[in-house]
């Protein structure tokens, strides 16, 4: 009876005053409002997602590292289809990592595969596009080309443009200084509608805008010129802390940069810059994320529950 009374009292209060679901309101006027959660603690739809892409109809495609699969969810978050399994055959995964989509095509990477898997929107495996190195960032562009950041031998990272057949269209090095150290070129990137490239470095407090030919148009710090601590492992200097985990360009041309360990709220702070690199605002994600993805309708997708949940937010500008 006591429980009933408690429920009878608490429930109307919760309905009248729901817990805030949006990210903290920022100075400068960008905030987010949750509109959908895919997966969850009590749901086996997602086990550990790593990559996400959303098509024009709002279908959500997710690479699930723990399930070794590519999953398609409807715009309502319902699981529509699943493809792939653990293995080394075509379309099978041993360590699924990155996902990108454009039109009716999806492109996925596996850390142990030299190449990029191509699927159609029904998750049918089509082929593996050869790739000259290990891919650590990937975007699919509306014109059917791919942009990818790769590292190979010699160990300098490059940003490549390839056509759908894997033919190299252009390339430029990511590093300004080749002696920066192992992994210091690790970065995420995104492109705007003009093909200009925004790069956020994983272990360097630097965000850059590059022209399509690689020229640096601007570069700036977002963390007050902080330097990531390093550690010496078997005579190799390795960075210990992350500066930026991802970058995405929204429908207004704003650049959203996800801060890493060195931001005030690790893996939750999102720095919003305009196309010229001027800070516009900062907002805070409710939970840490490893990535940012903005779809064609300007919804933001991030991680929650350490990969068990994918959350979709509406971006609100004052």
CA distance 116 to 138: 10
Which of residues 53 and 186 has its CB atom nearest to another protein in the complex?
A: 186
182 binds another protein (CB under 8 A): yes
290 binds another protein (CB under 8 A): yes
230 binds another protein (CB under 8 A): no
CA distance 109 to 293: 17
CA distance 293 to 174: 22
Contact stretch for another protein (CB under 8 A) within 52-60, 158-166, 240-248, 272-280: 240-248
**What are the two backbone dihedrals, phi and then psi, of residue 12, each rounded to the nearest 5 degrees?**
-60, -35
- Report the SS3 class of residue 305: helix
84 binds another protein (CB under 8 A): no
Query: Are the CB atoms for 243 and 203 separated by under 8 Å?
Result: yes
Residue 85 vs residues 69, 70, 212, 274, 275: alpha-carbon distances, Å: 5, 9, 37, 41, 41
Q: Is the dihedral of CA 217, 298, 83, 290 positive or negative?
A: positive
Contact pick of 238, 277, 286, 287 for another protein (by CB under 8 A): 238
Which of residues 97 and 206 has its CB atom nearest to another protein in the complex?
A: 97
Residue 174 CA to its chain's centroid (Å): 18
Contact pick of 111, 128, 196, 230 for another protein (by CB under 8 A): 111
CB of 187 to another protein, least distance (A): 9
254 binds another protein (CB under 8 A): no
143 binds another protein (CB under 8 A): no
Interacting residues with another protein between 45 and 74 (CB under 8 A): 47-48, 50, 65-66
105 binds another protein (CB under 8 A): no
**What are the two backbone dihedrals, phi and then psi, of residue 141, each rounded to the nearest 5 degrees?**
-105, 155
Query: Which residues of the shown chain bind another protein in the complex (CB under 8 A)?
Result: 41-42, 47-48, 50, 65-66, 94-95, 97, 111-112, 134, 136, 151-153, 155, 182-183, 186, 202-203, 231, 233-234, 236, 238-242, 245, 260-261, 290, 305-308
């Amino acid at each position: 009876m006591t429980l009933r009374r408690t429920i009878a009292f608490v429930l109307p209060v919760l309905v009248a005053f729901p817990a805030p679901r949006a990210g903290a309101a920022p100075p400068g006027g960008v905030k987010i409002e949750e509109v959908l959660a895919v997966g969850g603690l009590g749901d086996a739809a997602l086990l550990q997602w790593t990559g996400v892409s959303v098509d024009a109809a709002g279908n959500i495609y997710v690479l699930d590292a723990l399930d070794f699969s590519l999953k398609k969810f409807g715009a309502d978050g319902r699981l529509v289809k699943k493809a792939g399994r653990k293995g080394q055959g075509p379309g099978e995964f041993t360590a699924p990592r990155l996902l990108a989509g454009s039109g009716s095509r999806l492109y996925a990477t596996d850390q142990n595969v030299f190449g990029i898997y191509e699927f159609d929107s029904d998750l049918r495996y089509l082929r593996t596009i050869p790739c000259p190195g290990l891919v650590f960032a990937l975007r699919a562009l509306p014109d059917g080309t791919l942009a990818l950041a790769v590292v190979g031998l010699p160990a300098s990272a490059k940003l490549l443009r390839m056509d759908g057949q894997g033919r190299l269209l252009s390339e430029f090095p990511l590093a300004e200084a080749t002696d920066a150290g192992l992994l210091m070129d690790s970065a995420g990137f995104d492109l705007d509608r003009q093909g200009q490239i925004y790069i956020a470095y994983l272990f360097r407090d630097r965000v850059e805008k590059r022209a399509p030919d690689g020229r640096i148009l601007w570069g700036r710090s977002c963390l007050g010129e902080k330097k990531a601590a390093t550690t010496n492992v078997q005579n190799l200097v390795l960075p210990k802390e992350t500066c930026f985990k991802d970058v995405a360009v929204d429908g207004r041309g704003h650049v959203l940069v996800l801060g890493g360990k060195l931001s005030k709220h690790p893996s939750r702070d999102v720095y919003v810059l305009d196309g010229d690199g001027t800070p516009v605002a900062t907002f805070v994600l409710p939970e840490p994320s490893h990535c940012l993805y903005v779809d064609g309708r300007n919804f933001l997708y991030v991680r929650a529950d350490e990969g068990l949940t994918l959350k979709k937010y509406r971006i609100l500008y004052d």
